[in-house]
Amino acid sequence: VSDRSKSGQRFDELRGEQVVYAIHRQERTFLPSREHCPLDPTRPGGPQTEIPFPSFEIAVFDNRFPAFETPLGAAEVVVYTDQHDGSFGTLAPERAEALMWVWRHRYMELGAREDIDYVMIFENRGVEVGVTLHHPHGQIYGYPFLPPVPALQLAADERLGGCAPCLLMGGELKDGRRLLHENDAVVAYIPYAARWAYEAHVTLREHRPSLLDCEPEELRLLSSALQAVVRGYDALFERPFPYVMVVHQAPTAAGAGAGGPGAGAGSPGAGARGAERRGAGGHLHVEFYPPLRTAEKLKYLAGSEQGAGTFISDTLPEESAAALREAIARAA
């Protein structure tokens, strides 16, 4: 890490994983006043922001303080709206649906790059998970390597002898006690072995390795289910509910998939192309990791979680699911 303005990686031999040093991020904008939000549009007479237009719908730009950047990855910011207040859950349904296409576009373009092995779309919501800007937005990291969590999920496919999300979703549908929300394309549930009290997985019913393999109607129903879960979160304790939301998809590294990230980009026939790519590993699903275990108490990663890698949970997934299911219904 010789150039302090650039990120660098070191490999932790003891844990067998990469650590990224992005020391320039120490200087990034931290909880600015509402008048100085860099994600607002640039209004006449107002301060210059990241988006030099007086209005916009959805904006994507290179992160000013990137953890990854060309030629070793990418870091982008996705601004959901030019309205400073609100959240993913309060977006109009049409805007949330459009966001799915923006995600898909960025997965396609970033995943086609030789230097990017894994595209991760995510949102941090709430100061409890380290948010530094309140304006509704998410981020995209293009990793120049396959990170440990998606690698573990691919290993689960091998261990279970098939697509793990497909098999696990089937088990949840059969059991039923942890289901949160369903529509024709998507199932939301708290997993059997959830680590967080209100962890939720939102999974495509059909085997879709990535957003590129989805039919347009599936994208619409995915956005609808995601909004239902987030609105339920806010209704659960009648407060803005912090979470980390992560879109899990197939790796994009050369050799990771038969078709590559551009293979299923069209709308008609995307499902057929997706079928050809089975075996590539990965099944599109969105995971939420909310740190709240009660309305006021946070789950901290302490001794067992950090030292042993074993989560100790204070709640049972079935009981959490019953409460969250009721909140989702109430917020609908």
4, 34, 57, 152: residue in contact with another protein (rule CB under 8 A): 57
Of the listed pieces 94-102, 225-233, 277-285, 308-316, which binds another protein according to CB under 8 A? 94-102
User: How far apart (Å, rounded) are the C-alpha atoms in residues 215 and 275?
Assistant: 12
58, 131, 173, 316: residue in contact with another protein (rule CB under 8 A): 58
Closest CB 331 distance from another protein, rounded Å? 24
Of the listed pieces 53-61, 179-187, 226-234, 278-286, which binds another protein according to CB under 8 A? 53-61
Amino acid symbol at 263:
A
Residue reference for tokens 């339920």: 232
Of the listed pieces 55-63, 125-133, 226-234, 323-331, which binds another protein according to CB under 8 A? 55-63
Q: Is 302 left (phi over 0), alpha (psi -120 to 50) or beta?
A: beta
Closest CB 101 distance from another protein, rounded Å? 5
DSSP state at residue 298: B
DSSP state at residue 303: I
Tell me the site size for another protein, rule CB under 8 A.
35
Here's the x/- map for another protein, 263-302, by CB under 8 A: it reads as xxxxx-----------------------------------
24, 25, 64, 205: residue in contact with another protein (rule CB under 8 A): 64
DSSP state at residue 258: S
CB nearer to another protein: give 11 or 56: 56
The reply on whether position 112 binds another protein by CB under 8 A is yes
User: How far apart (Å, rounded) are the C-alpha atoms in residues 295 and 317?
Assistant: 17
The reply on whether position 54 binds another protein by CB under 8 A is yes
CB 116 within 8 A of CB 252: yes
CB 251 within 8 A of CB 146: yes
The reply on whether position 62 binds another protein by CB under 8 A is yes
The tokens describing 239, both together, are 């407060």
The tokens describing 273, both together, are 């192309």
CB nearer to another protein: give 26 or 48: 48
11, 47, 53, 239: residue in contact with another protein (rule CB under 8 A): 53
User: How far apart (Å, rounded) are the C-alpha atoms in residues 330 and 206?
Assistant: 28
Give every CB contact of residue 109 below 8 A, 6+ residues apart in sequence: none
Of the listed pieces 5-13, 106-114, 142-150, 312-320, which binds another protein according to CB under 8 A? 106-114
Closest CB 217 distance from another protein, rounded Å? 12
Of the listed pieces 44-52, 143-151, 154-162, 235-243, which binds another protein according to CB under 8 A? 44-52
Q: How deeply is 308 buried, as exposed, middle or buried, from its count of CB atoms within 10 A (0-12, 13-18, 19+)?
A: exposed
Of the listed pieces 10-18, 22-30, 51-59, 186-194, which binds another protein according to CB under 8 A? 51-59
The reply on whether position 303 binds another protein by CB under 8 A is no
The reply on whether position 65 binds another protein by CB under 8 A is no
Residues from 173 through 232 that contact another protein (CB under 8 A): 216
Angle formed by the axes of helices 317-331 and 216-236, nearest 10°:
100
Amino acid symbol at 34:
R
Closest CB 171 distance from another protein, rounded Å? 33
DSSP state at residue 300: P
Q: How deeply is 173 buried, as exposed, middle or buried, from its count of CB atoms within 10 A (0-12, 13-18, 19+)?
A: middle
* Half-sphere exposure at residue 82, Cβ-oriented, CA atoms within 13 angstroms: 12
Q: Which residues contribute to the site for another protein (CB under 8 A)?
A: 42, 48, 50-62, 64, 94-95, 97-98, 101-102, 104-105, 108-109, 112, 216, 261-267
